[in-house]
Structure 1
């Protein structure tokens, strides 16, 4: 089985919250015990979405309400089946978050690809799985919307990691 066969089993995931580089849960993306997640580059949602910080633990949620909010910036990863299963469990899928395909505009690719001709061009659009939610308290739609999440951002709503809850 060559690299091409293994590549076809990789899924594309767009992360916008605590799993991004420099954020509190990024280590889960780099831990090989969870599977493989390869950082591909940065992107943003084609459609507008409300990205809010909700619950008493200050968790970033992408509310699945296309057309309201901002173009949300995040990171594109290719992940294997094991990592996808880990992320489904980590994100409480399908109860807390639902994994849905979303159109992402590519802002930049990271480094050199082993097969650059198979990459969509920068500024083109690709579909990635995103963990967003339709199962949120209705008042969350009135929370402030963000276009780029940072746990230490000006909002002052620092994320409370699971191990502290």
Structure 2
């Protein structure tokens, strides 16, 4: 199934869940801006099924690897090929941020490529090396795609040597 087909399926399922909530609880009024109280609710927020306390109205959404890859575990789920770094992503609606989790290599740096809602094209950025990294960016409402590779910087006239790209991660960062 293509990535576009998966995205369409996810959008349909999300819409159905939203509509069913409106049908089941039609007399529940939506809170206006600034009226959400700081009460907490329990939401299943990790792979072990343990609840995560969030402010009312807040949620996390984890990225998926629609084209495959091995799920290496963790929260959010991280995906890798046998010879690539792992990669996972999570949208935090209250912090209005996207966190990208990657690692598994001790190279000099990582190359991360991503498509954001405003870029509309693949953009590459170099990030510091290390076995476990988190890159946080301000969320823009829409779809993100990420891939990452680990590299060791080459000499003065040499190119860097890099792993293969990780599986592509798709993340829906819409706050609704």
Into which bin does the TM-score normalised by the smaller protein fall?
A: under 0.3
* Greater C-alpha radius of gyration: 2
Higher helix share: 1
TM-score by length of 1: 0.25
TM-score by length of 2: 0.24
Higher relative contact order (CA 8 A, sep 6+): 1
